[in-house]
Structure 1
Amino acid sequence: MEGIGTIILIFAAVGVGIYILFFFIPVALWFSALLSGVRISLIQLVFMRWRKVPPNVIVRALIEGTKAGLTLNRNELEAHYLAGGHVSQVTHALVSASKANIDLPFQMATAIDLAGRDVYEAVQMSVIPKVINTPPVTAVAKDGIQLIAKARVTVRANIRQLVGGAGEETVLARVGEGIVSSIGSSETHKSVLENPDNISRVVLEKGLDAGTAFEILSIDIADIDIGKNIGAVLQTDQAEADLKIAQAKAEERRAMAVASEQENKALAQEMRAKVIEAEAEVPRAMAEAFRNGQLGIMDYYRMKNIEADTSMRENIANPKDKGKKK
């Protein structure tokens, strides 16, 4: 029984040893690479594990590149993986670019990948252009009619501009700006509706894809709707504003007139008070003149006769006023 137990332990130890050996030394992966024409040693595969690089990722990339007729460098693939790149995506992109006759060096592909862009998708977009639908763009023609346009922008990736080039949002913004400018320069909205292709031509002539990661192939106006009559609305608002201004100025003039009238009334009351005050001084002055001998009795009677004569003349001239006074 002890001999059987020892044999079982030996077989178990051998099994564990073989498992550990195959775990650290991926013989199956090495054999697969050998059959695919990729020359790589078992020691290099072991060193990859020690460098925290999964051997299967690198070997599969080498196999894919070799089968596609590409020459990939193992050290460069490892360096790209350690830099945080996507080795499989870069390999797929290189193979697709090679088949599509697109000049895509390995250094550029890794730079695009490390920049955060999907290099494989970019290559696919270079082969099969992408259609971008713009949001509704509102613009006003010179006759004041509002137009709402929608466009389809066909673009393909510009491999050379993927690193540092502007994205899809910039392209949409520039296209929208071009549509607004084109509609705004039109004399009437009817001319825009009759020839919507003029918008596409004008926008394309501006070279809106400069500095972006895309190349604009075409801009097609998908739909144009008529909105509000902005010119009429603005004229109505202006008329209402002018009316309010005129009313405010009229109210200001009325207030000034009322204030002036009140000032004149106050001034008249003040003058009347001064007259009454002056009339009250007449008897006092006459008494003073009598005492000083400057006014005689005959002078006094003569003045009274003049007052009576003046009063009679006023009554004859204004008989109605006399009747009212009675």
Structure 2
Amino acid sequence: MEFEQVLTLIIIAAILIVIAVLFTFIPVMLWISALAAGVKVGIFQLVGMRLRRVIPSRVINPLIKAYKAGLDVKTNQLESHYLAGGNVDRVVNALIAAHRANITLTFERAAAIDLAGRDVLEAVQMSVNPKVIETPFIAGIAMDGIEVKAKARITVRANIDRLVGGAGEETVIARVGEGSSVPLVVLKHIRRYWKIQIPFHTMY
């Protein structure tokens, strides 16, 4: 009788261990969350992600977010972007922001911008709200030998179609610094100003 009780306890412990291992390997709660949100994801898809060394939550949670926002994004697209080293959550957030702002942005374009090392979400935000970049002080010598220092404030708006390979913030500041020292010569008569601000408005 005592042997049967011990055997029963061993069997129950083994079953609990197997269930714990299954719940660890198969994200059942994540699968239930996806089904509750209306996203059709098979349990074997989640197992396949584990085998491909993909963290399922990094793909399924953005997929749920995209589905709720009305975007047509596939699981394979998000998983491929994750395997390529991209930030899936940031790409989905950028797509949602672009969709809300009526900006045409495909998943392929957003993924390419993200893989190029640019912040695609910030680019979408800058397309809606231009960003003001303030340069360091730029020094120039007037014709009468007076040194004049100026600080430029540049208003930039992101062009998503040309973002890959386009100028970044550091490049914009460098170009403004190269092109702003020449106009300082005409300021030779403004001797009482040691520091001035010159607003520039540009687009990239």
Q: How does the TM-score come out when normalised to structure 1? A: 0.57
Q: SS in structure 2 opposite 1:164?
A: coil
Alpha carbons 2:58, 2:88 under 8 Å: kept: yes
Q: 1:75 to 1:143 in 2, by over 3 A?
A: same
C-alpha distance in structure 2 between counterparts of 1:153 and 1:129, whole Å: 10
Task: Report the Cα offset of residue 9 of structure 1.
Answer: 0.6
Flag the structure with larger Rg. Answer: 1
Q: Residues 162 and 138 of structure 1: is their aligned pair in 2 closer, same or farther, counting only changes over 3 Å?
A: same
- Which residue of structure 2 lines up, in the alignment, with residue 82 of structure 1? 83
Gaps of 5+ in 2: none
Q: Is the 8 A contact 2:110 2:120 kept in 1?
A: yes
Q: Secondary structure at the match of 1:151?
A: strand
Larger helix percent:
1
Cα offset, 1:145, TM superposition: 2.5
Number of aligned residue pairs: 201
**Structure with the greater relative contact order (CA < 8 A, sep ≥ 6): 1 or 2?**
2
Which SS does the other structure have where 1:112 is aligned?
helix
Cα distance in 2 between the residues matched to 1:78 and 1:187? 57
- Separation in 2 of the partners of 1:139 and 1:82? 50
Q: Offset of 1:187 from its aligned partner?
A: 7.1
2:64 match: 63
User: Hey, what does 1:44 align to over in structure 2?
Assistant: 45
Instruction: Letter of the 1:189 partner, please give it.
Output: H
Question: In 2, are the aligned partners of 1:183 and 1:192 still within 8 Å (CA)?
Answer: no
Which structure 1 residue ranges, 5 or more long, are not aligned? 210-214, 217-326
- AA aligned to 2:71 is L
Q: 1:191 Cα shift?
A: 9.4
How many Å apart are 1:192 and its aligned residue? 10
Percent identity reads: 52
The residue type paired with residue 28 of structure 1 is M
The aligned amino acid for 2:35 is L
From the superposition, tell whether residues 8 and 122 of structure 1 become closer, same or farther in structure 2 (CA, over 3 Å).
same
- Structure 1 residues 98-118: Cα deviation after superposition (integer angstroms, max 9, x where no partner): 112222110111111111112
Distance across 2 between alignment mates of 1:169 and 1:24: 45
**How big is each residue's C-alpha offset from its partner over 1:295-319, in whole Å with a ceiling of 9 and x where there is no partner?**
xxxxxxxxxxxxxxxxxxxxxxxxx
How many Å separate the matches in 2 of 1:191 and 1:55?
65
| In structure 2, distance between residues paired with 1:17 and 1:118 | 43
Question: Once superposed, what is the RMSD of the aligned Cα atoms?
Answer: 2.3
Amino acid at match of 1:91: V
